[in-house]
Chains A and B, each alone.
Chain A
Amino acid sequence: MATQLKRTELIFREDMDYPALLHKVMKMGKDKFINEMMESGLRGRGGAGFPSGMKWKIVKEDPSPVKYIVCNADEGEPGTFKDKEILDKAVDKVIWGMVLAAYVTGAKEGYIYIRAEYKYLNTKLRIAIDRMEQNLKPLGVQFKLDLRYGAGAYICGEETALLQSMEGHRGEPTNKPPFPVNCGYLGKPTVVNNVETFVNAMIIADIGAQEYQKLGTKASQGSKLFSVSGDCSKEGVFELEMGMSVQQFVDEFGDGDTKAVQVGGASGFCVPRKEFKNTIIGFEGVPTGGSMKVFNSSRSMYNILENYLIFFEEESCGQCTPCRVGTQQLLHGIRAVKRKEKPKTYLDELLRLAYTMKFASKCGLGRSVGNAFRSIIENFREEIVY
């Protein structure tokens, strides 16, 4: 059946023997495992989709004696809650994924940077870290892991901002290059991976690249956790293979009256009903860190866009002008059009501003505001104006 969604159950599977898997990789050899990672096609699960094996390889090959592993658990994208679910239900897999990264790249220290909103998981995480240390000792691998908390700033999910925050500064992104793999925490080579990426590394260690490749599509390999919310028949975290169409997704999760699906959170794309059939969820179509928000026809797209812009206006770090002023002006602009203080053609000027922000902003925040803005304006123009 073509419309059947392909479900998988790898991420929350509980029968993994973590020390044994690390031992398996130790016997296999570091280079061979990195090749395995590259062959698997695993791309970062935080949203940007950089090939994870490549990231590990660059850090491994750096001669620096000090290197770091950082787990990015600053999950702040609106509509995303899958990392919280992983940390709550499969935290050992994340931690051992970090151990694996440390062993392979030669890092001795690591940090989990977790958002302040998830502080209630603190005890669980501390216990899991102790458990890992106990089980790691007999293997003779040295790895010290600690927690760092964010303090309510969405931008700290951007890796350079995260590192700034860890170093005790305002969470303002820095220019790339240099990339964290060369010059990361305290100037040392650093692997920064999303929570789910570390889990996927463990899955690859377990089943191997060949099996892993059978999941998903050529551009989007493996399975992925989706955070589903909104006007749905069911909400929650679901593990699915990538490469399905939005239509397939809506058939499974919609409430029968779905008007639009926002794929990838506030910084992602809004897919209208007429595009459901020919839009693929994955790196070949609309990419997503896992956020899937479903809206039915009772929802005003104006309210949704305004809500996103309020979010971006607050969360822009304010460092670069295109993003700081751009987010403010987009918000003022759609309000002015709604109040008839500006003609509806003003939306075209705002689209040009969003386009400028895409190229002139310093980091991914300012560059992606235009995604939701453009896709909502272009598909639901009349709802914004009237």
Chain B
Amino acid sequence: MTSSNNEEFIGQLADKYGRNRESLLPILQKVVEQYYFLSEESMVNIAKELNISTADVYGTASFYSFLGTTHQGKHVIRVCQTIICDMKRKEDIIDAIYDMLGIRPGETTSDGRFSLYYTNCLGACHKGPAMLINDEPYMELTPEKVKDIIVNYMKNS
């Protein structure tokens, strides 16, 4: 992605969502959707468009766990670590992902396609263990099910 592209994309977002402070979160979310994380370049361009400091953009973005400010994969896997999913053996899910992709929570695959994180309660306790891949929730997981799901993502991207 060239720098003029980034600038143009963020300019279009600002046209769509507005240049007020309350437009900041929707813009950050769209940039993460497009580039998978917030690069320094993106944050500088957002700051310019909204006429606020880059530090303010970074300070806001870094508050939110779904707005990554360091490089992360196209597919972000978030496995619920809160108590009920923990009781329902979320560690088996983490191990199954490790077997498939060779990454532990906090890591990104060397090809840059997948990142894995722990996350807090996904609101699927009754169907735990649960995980989110990008926006899509997956519930009542077993290690076998996880492998099928991941294989699908590997094939289709």
Which of under 10, 10 to 19, 20 to 34, or 35 or more describes the interface residues of B? Answer: 35 or more
Q: Is B124 an interface residue (CB 8 A)?
A: yes
Bound complex: CA A84 to CA B59 (Å)? 30
* Interface residues as binary, A163-206 with B (CB distance below 8 Å gives 1, 0 otherwise): 00111111110000000000000100000000000000000000
**Closest B-chain residue to A303, C-beta based?**
B86
**Closest A-chain residue to B60, C-beta based?**
A170
A120, A148, A229, A307, most chain B CB atoms within 10 A: A229
Residues of A within 8 A of B137 (CB): 117, 120
**Contact (A230, B123) CB under 8 Å given A151-B67, A152-B66, A186-B22:** no
Residues of B within 8 A of A128 (CB): none
Q: Is A311 an interface residue (CB 8 A)?
A: yes
Beta-carbon contact of A227 and B83 below 8 Å: no
Q: Is A343 an interface residue (CB 8 A)?
A: no
Q: Is B119 an interface residue (CB 8 A)?
A: yes
Bound complex: CA A171 to CA B65 (Å)? 12
Q: Is B126 an interface residue (CB 8 A)?
A: yes
Residues of A within 8 A of B135 (CB): 119-120, 122
Beta-carbon contact of A78 and B120 below 8 Å: yes
Beta-carbon contact of B126 and A81 below 8 Å: yes
Q: Which of B79-126 contact A (CB under 8 A)?
A: 81-84, 86-87, 119-126
Residues of B within 8 A of A299 (CB): 87
The contact of B63 among A153, A229, A231, by CB within 8 Å, is A153
Beta-carbon contact of B82 and A311 below 8 Å: yes
Bound complex: CA A133 to CA B46 (Å)? 33
Residues of B within 8 A of A275 (CB): none
**Contact (A293, B125) CB under 8 Å given A120-B136, A152-B65:** yes
The contact of A78 among B63, B83, B136, by CB within 8 Å, is B83
* Interface residues as binary, B47-90 with A (CB distance below 8 Å gives 1, 0 otherwise): 00000000000011001111100000000000001111011000
Bound complex: CA A106 to CA B20 (Å)? 25
Beta-carbon contact of B59 and A230 below 8 Å: no
Q: Is B23 an interface residue (CB 8 A)?
A: yes
Residues of B within 8 A of A80 (CB): 121, 123
**Contact (A151, B123) CB under 8 Å given A116-B66, A307-B82, A307-B86:** no
Beta-carbon contact of B24 and A168 below 8 Å: yes
The contact of B64 among A76, A151, A310, by CB within 8 Å, is A151
Beta-carbon contact of A235 and B120 below 8 Å: no
Beta-carbon contact of A84 and B123 below 8 Å: yes
Q: Which of A197-245 contact B (CB under 8 A)?
A: 227-231, 235-237
Beta-carbon contact of B24 and A311 below 8 Å: no
Residues of A within 8 A of B120 (CB): 76, 78, 154, 311, 314-315
29 A-B pairs with C-beta separation under 8 A: A76-B123, A78-B125, A79-B83, A79-B125, A81-B125, A118-B123, A149-B29, A151-B29, A151-B65, A151-B66, A151-B67, A152-B67, A153-B63, A154-B120, A168-B22, A168-B60, A171-B64, A172-B63, A227-B126, A229-B84, A229-B128, A230-B87, A230-B125, A231-B87, A293-B125, A303-B86, A307-B81, A310-B81, A314-B120
